[in-house]
Structure 1
Amino acid sequence: MLPAPLDGMAGISAAQPRTVTPPPVAPVSPAAVQPATGSYTPAASFSPPPQQAPGNSSDLSQLIRPIAELEREAIERAIDLCQGNIPKAAHYLEISAATIYRKRNSWKE
């Protein structure tokens, strides 16, 4: 005797594959797709920095930022967007919440 949830499956065997047909998808015109609102700008929309003369390092230091600085900004922004929910921010950043807590503690020192 099969348990109650499986009663209806008594006549189905492994040799009878079930075919599932997905519903048709209507084509979407490019004009119907609207860009998301917000302050996020995809990397593809950034223009390259202007060409600098070789050896002009003072200008380059304004164009190139340390990765640690970018990382801190990304973490702080994710926490803000998640209304202070660190585990949720960690999920979206694809890191552990422990990493966020550890980094925030190191920033206080």
Structure 2
Amino acid sequence: MLEEYNEFLTVDDLQKALGIGKAYAYQLVNSGQFKVIRVGRLIKVPKKSLLVWMYGDNYEEKNHKEEKKEKSKMVPDGSLILTDKEDILFFERIATLPLKKKQKLYRVIYDLLDLSE
């Protein structure tokens, strides 16, 4: 499920994927039941977070064993090494933002996804 969606879903994507209305989709993203990335009015839902919410913690464990591709990570100098295609596409899209918004977004993403380890 959700294979046709990017790694980060919009509220519209969430609405279509779950077959719910717009109001309920916004209610869900505001409920705190799964991780949400917010920058200004932009709301993105990590697909993995949504799948764990839908299928429970066993989804994370099961897919962690099957997944062997290298993940994006931070290195000691503070740089981010992007190896996942979806991560690269996401960061390319936000590269067009003004500097202050980019800095804020990166801090939120690093904290949310715990990339500092």
TM-score (norm 2): 0.25
Give the number of the structure whose alpha-carbon radius of gyration is greater.
1
Q: Identify, as 1 or 2, the structure richer in strand.
A: 2
Higher relative contact order (CA 8 A, sep 6+): 2
TM-score (norm 1): 0.26
